Amino acid sequence: MTSLSKQSCEPCRSDSTPLKEEEISTLLSQIPDWERVVTDGTPRLRRSFSFEGYPPCLDFANRVGAIAEEEDHHPQLIIEWGKVTVLWWTHTINGLHRNDFILAARCDEIYQQNR
């Protein structure tokens, strides 16, 4: 099976089906540093990335923003001194889609490249 970070996102429409719990569990096992959280009734993927200082946080956030633009799928980014928290979910279906897991895996890849 191709690693999540190497997979392509697919267009997600409002009639797309959110992932089922079993699918979420399987995909989460491929991105073990991420957690599933529920905010305002919507499941999301969340991970905080640690850095030394503020400039590396901005660089990481910009790199994540670039892949988000490429895929037309955008996360919530919370930038603090020494930490960036990324949350992925699919707004159009008010839930989790495979695209969220693909882009979470790409965030992990970006983080590893910057270490």
Dump pLDDT digits (tens) for 60-89: 999 999 999 999 999 999 999 999 999 999
pLDDT of residue 1: 47
What is the domain count for the chain?
1
Tell me which residue range forms the domain holding 94.
20-113
Assess if residue 1 is contained within a domain: no
Quote the crossing angle between the two packed helices 21-28 and 98-113, to the nearest 10°: 10
Q: What is the DSSP string of 18-42?
A: PPPHHHHHHHHTTSTT-EEEEETTE
Assess if residue 96 is contained within a domain: yes
Residue type, 89: W
Assess if residue 9 is contained within a domain: no
CA distances from 113 to 24, 85, 102, 107, 109 (A): 26, 17, 17, 10, 6
pLDDT of residue 115: 67
Q: Which of 60, 71, 69, 62 is nearest to 101 (CA)?
A: 71
Assess if residue 15 is contained within a domain: no
pLDDT of residue 2: 61
The CATH number of the domain where 99 resides is what? 3.30.1360.20
Task: List pLDDT tens digits, range 95-115.
Answer: 999 999 999 999 999 999 976
Assess if residue 93 is contained within a domain: yes
Q: What is the DSSP string of 40-75?
A: TTEEEEEEEEE-SSSHHHHHHHHHHHHHHHHHT---
The residue ranking higher by pLDDT, 56 or 2, is 56
